[in-house]
Amino acid sequence: MQTDAPIVVIEDDPNIADLVELYLRREGYRVLQAADAEKGLGLVARERPRLVVLDIGLPGEIDGLEVCRRLRASTQVPVLILTARDGEIDRVLGLELGADDYVTKPFSPRELVARIRAILRRSEMASQKQADVLVSGEVEVDTARREVRAGGEVVALATREFDLLSYLASNEGLVLSRRQLLDAVWGQGWYGDERTVDVHVRQLRKKLGDKLPLATVWGVGYRLG
């Protein structure tokens, strides 16, 4: 289960932080610790973790609830609040600020790990679902359904047109040569004229209009976005 992206534990009590790290490492997760809000926010910005375990009662001027608020303003990283504050108001406030779950102290390390696994499963499933839909401008390419929408309206595309648009959308922002597009969409064994790409691009522009931000890079190829 080891992954390059760590789990960040923001907890000022070293005994609790070490306990959480011990159980998470047993499950194969890489763990980084921060004892205060500023260090924790710095770790998140630098490491882009899979999940943050966050204590509410942090030392200093920034408490855990404010950390959660800042994380939600700048990232979509899952957050599990770990706190001795077990009052309903604190729990509700944490969830309203965007926390994915909470565990109160004292806690069962096994329950904590189980909750973290559940959050990560939900997060990864949601990411996979989002990855199935590529968006560029007002055009959405649903690769699972092989459906294209422009301005919310479904647009019928031929098979090669869809495959070409899908490949361009999955490489949004990159300049792709006609040969690259031929190899990726038609296959490396296809030896037709590179103008085939131009014909299909014209069809995409005709069907999707100015909702499709597809630029011609003269002498090279095409760029979407």
Q: Map tokens 């000022």 to a residue.
A: 12
Cross-strand partners of 55: 82
Cis ω for the linkage preceding 49 (within 30 of 0): no
Query: Which pLDDT score, from 0 to 100, does residue 32 have?
Result: 97
Domain ranges, residue 176? 133-224
Q: Does residue 56 lie within any of the structural domains?
A: yes
Domain boundary (131, 151, 168) is at: 131
Query: Residue 86: how many CB atoms within 10 A of its CB?
Result: 11
Query: Which pLDDT score, from 0 to 100, does residue 91 have?
Result: 64
Query: Which pLDDT score, from 0 to 100, does residue 190 have?
Result: 64
Q: Are residues 122 and 173 in the same domain?
A: no
pLDDT tens per residue across all 225 residues of the chain: 445 789 999 999 999 999 999 999 999 999 999 999 999 999 999 999 999 999 988 998 999 989 998 988 878 888 998 877 656 566 667 777 778 888 888 899 999 999 899 888 887 766 655 557 888 889 999 887 888 999 888 998 888 888 899 999 988 888 999 988 988 888 766 666 788 889 899 999 999 998 999 999 998 899 998
Backbone phi, psi, residue 197, to 5°: -60, -45
Q: Does residue 79 lie within any of the structural domains?
A: yes
Q: Are residues 187 and 213 in the same domain?
A: yes
pTM of the model: 0.59
Q: Are residues 103 and 209 in the same domain?
A: no
> CA 132 to CA 149: how far, in whole Å?
13
Domain boundary (107, 131, 155) is at: 131
Write the single-letter amino acid at 101.
D
Q: Are residues 64 and 84 in the same domain?
A: yes
Query: Residue 60: how many CB atoms within 10 A of its CB?
Result: 10
CATH number at residue 154: 1.10.10.10
Q: Are residues 31 and 113 in the same domain?
A: yes
The helix (run of H) or strand (run of E) holding residue 51 is strand 51-55
Domain boundary (96, 116, 131) is at: 131
| Structural domain count, the chain | 2
Q: Does residue 65 lie within any of the structural domains?
A: yes
Q: Does residue 2 lie within any of the structural domains?
A: no
